[in-house]
Every structure is written in C-alpha cells, then in structure tokens.
Amino acid sequence: MTWAELELLPQEIGREIELWEGKVVWNPRGQRAHSRFIRRATNAIERCADETTMLNPSIAGWLVCHRVDVFPDLEQMSDFLTPDIVVTRRMPLTEYVRAADTLLVGEVRFRSNPCYIEAKKARYAHAGIHWYWEIVIAPSGESITAVKAYERTTLTYKLVGEWTSADEHGIAVDQPFPIHIPWTELEF
C-alpha cells in the first residue's frame, strides 16, 4: 500500500494502520487504560523536556507528542511507524516527522504481542532512533508496573534503566535529557 492509498481510507481505519515497507500492519488504538497512560507518560516527559529547555535557553528544545507517524525516509512514505510517545527536535508542527529528527520513542505495553513489540523495536533501531522506552501496564489496567529505557547500540537497543512502582524515587535518568518522574504523576 502507498501513502496516497492510505490517505484515501476513512480516517477511523487509516489511523489504525502503520505501513512497513508498503505492507499494512494493524496498530489499533488501545483501551482506555492504554490511552490514559500514554497521555500521562507523554505529559510527564514533556514537562521534563520543557524544564530542561527553560534551564538551558541555548538549546533548541524538544517537542513531545503522542501517536505521531515517524518516517525512516520521507522519500518512502509507504514506510512509517506510529509510536505511542515521540520526542523530536523542535520543528514546525506541520512537518512530517523523520526518524533523523526523533530523539526518543516510547511504547505503552498493555496485553501486547511480544513478537510485534520486538519487531517494532528493531525497526526503530534500524531507523536510527537513539532512545526507546517501554512502559508496561499491569494486567488489571490500573497501574504501570515498569518503565524500561533502552539506548541504541548500532542496530539494536541495550537496556540502560528499569524502574518499577516499588522504586520510591520514581523514574530518574539524565539521558537523553534529565527525566525525573515521580510515580504519583503516572498513577491512575
């Protein structure tokens, strides 16, 4: 399928699809718990990005969004991924997001297919996205049980941090920018 063909689909169908080298991959919107935790995590990371930018006015800053298409190559519009969380360099909001402009992507996992998640993670690494985060929701859907941060090493990711709800200080990491999120900010 091409980007042009995808645009012809009704929006309620098209927004559920990713194209992997022209192949349709169904990526349905999650349940309410999934949506809520995407929003909470996105807002928390955005707060950290904004605080960093305010403290360091010499840096251009970052844009933090959720469910935005990321293109490994804008010449190949039939190949894109839609992460749950996307951190890009500051750029016009009307531009398509290239992987080269993307600092971090995150996936909120709630009853997901592990093979699909690993395949998607490999595609992010292959596209050159430096940071990948996984946010794991409890089977009950009422809490986040873990947050895992991965750094890209060539064409794979290496786990560099993992936090669970038992970590009383919350999530604290200094790369790709200082991110400090108390668990209370992510609670249901």
The superfamily in CATH containing domain 31-186 is: tt1808, chain A (3.90.1570.10)
**pLDDT for the residue numbered 158:** 96
Structure tokens at 148: 């895992």
* pLDDT for residue 150: 97
Distances (CA, A) of 3 to 19, 26, 67, 125: 8, 15, 17, 22
Please tell me the predicted confidence (pLDDT) of residue 90: 86
Sign of CA dihedral 95, 100, 101, 107: positive
28/17 Cα distance (integer angstroms)? 7
Over residues 90-145, the pLDDT tens digits come to: 888 889 999 999 999 999 987 667 788 888 999 999 999 999 999 999 888 888 99
Total residue count of the chain as it appears in this document: 188
d(CA 171, CA 9): 40
Q: How far apart are CA 101 and CA 135, in angstroms?
A: 22
Give the torsion through C-alpha atoms of 81, 71, 101, 176, to 10 deg. Answer: 20
- The residues near 102 (Cβ < 8 Å, ≥ 6 apart) are 70, 86, 87, 88, 127, 129
According to the model, what pLDDT value does residue 20 have? 82
pTM: 0.86
Q: Which residues of the chain have pLDDT under 50?
A: none
